[in-house]
Structure 1
Amino acid sequence: MIDDRDDEGPTQYASPPCFMHELDPTYQMPLSDWTDVRRWRKAEREKLIGARLAASADARAAMAARIAESLDNLIGDIGGRMVSLYWPFRGEPDLRGWMASVNERGGRTALPVVIEKGQPLVFRAYAPGDRLEKGVWNIPIPAEGDPVLPDIVISPMVGIAPGNYRLGYGGGFYDRTLAAMPFRALVIGVGYELQRIPTIYPQPHDIPMSEVVTEVYGA
């Protein structure tokens, strides 16, 4: 690749040397260097979050309702199972209503808690009505409670790539958490169809979701 610091190199192009992006809009230039991948992911993350926030609140609510229906179809009987969800942030599918229904049907729910940068998440049991406090990024977290191990982890996705790979917020919390769990939970990534991308340039530390559910279908 051309070093982006070299703006006055000996060769200047009227357009990029590779024209595949003009022939196929989904074409992605191959990236092999982790620094380049991180830079690309940051830009892609900002674009996808912007697109998510551009959808109206009513549209996001309708999509979240369809995602909840698909989760029921995928999981089946929820009785006696512990499900970790999340508190919706920056336009993520709001599944708090579905969280309440899990508890009403005999399941239990939890929320992830960031304890320390660079460390796995901790899950704390939570049911609607329990006391919350502000955590990292002011996202509400359970104010108290011992750690639990969920049977099912519902993970919000910023980007959805083939192979069920997830583009997240860049902190690596879910990857570390899933790698550290003593058993392989059912991990379901949730997001909107508008978040699908051709690749995240998967790295060895990236852990794919078991399943992915959007408002259109579960895949």
Structure 2
Amino acid sequence: MSTKAQDQQMPWPEVAAWRKAERARLIEARLEISAEKRAEMAARIIKGLDAAIGDMKGRLVSLYWPFRGEPDLRGWMISIIERGGAVALPVVVEKGHPLVFRAYKPGDKLEKGVWNIPIPAEGESVIPNVVISPIVGFDAQNYRLGYGGGFFDRTLAAMPTKALVIGIGYEIGRIATIHPQAHDIPMDRIITEKSI
């Protein structure tokens, strides 16, 4: 029996409580890493992203604004644009609904979104062909433990075309299982400072 099938038999309240505790533990561990060390790790993650994505020309890459010790890819955003790609940022429009993506380039007006994370203040929705998703934790089947809002899973399920979905985080987030449920969508790849 697959891990996902086994985990679907585990009662959801038990899984939800476990995820909440594991999420808190992993975020705390991530925040204990010095800013300098996190910057070094982010540089290695960027090398992995470049290898996984390849030519940026004509690509629309959805990134994110770093939050609570996540890998900071803002410098990489600029390099995507310099190499002929474009960038979008995810926007929470309404709780319990999919994210939308808005085009972004450095210098565009930003406003505070959910959790005070900067988002493009205006602009049309776009459909990225590469989605970079921050992860708190992850398992060997490429399932992602996020912040618990379900935004990324809802968004990926609702996208009209299949994007290359890459979860990124630190190796300390590697766990045996996230106890995947029917609504969880695995990433195509997970990239950390140590592996793809």
TM-score tier after normalising by the smaller chain length: over 0.9
- State yes or no: 1:103 paired with 2:81: yes
Deviation at 1:30, TM superposition (A): 10
Within-5 A mapping of 1:104-183:
104-183=82-161
**Pairwise CA distance, 1:31:** 7.1
Query: Alpha-carbon deviation of 1:160?
Result: 1.1
**Paired residue for 1:209, among 156, 163, 187?**
187
Q: Is the 8 A contact 2:103 2:125 kept in 1?
A: yes
Give the Å deviation of 1:172. Answer: 0.2
Q: Is the 8 A contact 2:8 2:181 kept in 1?
A: no
For 1:215 and 1:30, the matched residues in 2 are separated by 31
Residue matched to 1:16: none
Could you list the per-position Cα deviations for residues 78-108 of structure 1 after superposition, in whole angstroms to 9, with x for gaps in the alignment?
1011000000000000000111100011100
| Aligned-partner Cα distance in 2 for 1:106–1:151 | 14
- Poorly superposed stretches of 4+, deviation over 6 Å: none
> Which has the greater radius of gyration?
1
Match of 1:187 among 159, 165, 180: 165
Q: Is the 8 A contact 1:125 1:146 kept in 2?
A: yes
Q: Matches of residues 34-49 of structure 1 in structure 2 within 5 Å?
A: 34-49=12-27
User: Aligned AA for 1:137?
Assistant: W
Query: In 1, Cα distance between the equivalents of 2:116 and 2:69?
Result: 15
Q: Which amino acid in 2 is paired with 1:208?
A: P
Of residues 27, 46, 58, the one that matches 1:68 is 46
- Letter of the 1:161 partner, please give it: D
**Secondary structure, aligned partner of 1:83:** strand
Tell me which amino acid in the other structure corresponds to 1:86: Y
Aligned equivalents of 1:217 and 1:43: distance in 2? 25
Aligned equivalents of 2:39 and 2:107: distance in 1?
21
Aligned residues: 190
- C-alpha contact (below 8 Å) 2:8/2:182 kept by paired residues: no
Question: 5+ unaligned residues in a row in structure 1: which ranges?
Answer: 1-28
Q: Identity, % of aligned pairs? A: 68
Distance 2:65 2:98 in 1: 18
2:62 aligns with: 84
The 1-side partners of 2:141 and 2:32 are apart by: 27
* RMSD value, Cα: 1.2
Answer whether contact 1:152 1:185 (CA < 8 A) is retained. yes
- The one-letter code of the counterpart of 1:50 is E
Contact 2:57–2:84 (8 Å) recurs in 1 = yes
TM-score (norm 1): 0.85
SS in 2 for 1:163: coil
Query: Cα–Cα, structure 1 residues 169 and 112, in superposed 2: closer, same or farther, change >3 Å?
Result: same
Change in 2 beyond 3 A, CA 1:54/1:150: same
CA distance in 2, matches of 1:158, 1:192: 8
Letter of the structure 2 residue corresponding to residue 103 of structure 1: I
Q: TM-score normalised to the size of structure 2?
A: 0.95
* Corresponding residue number in structure 1 for 2:4: none
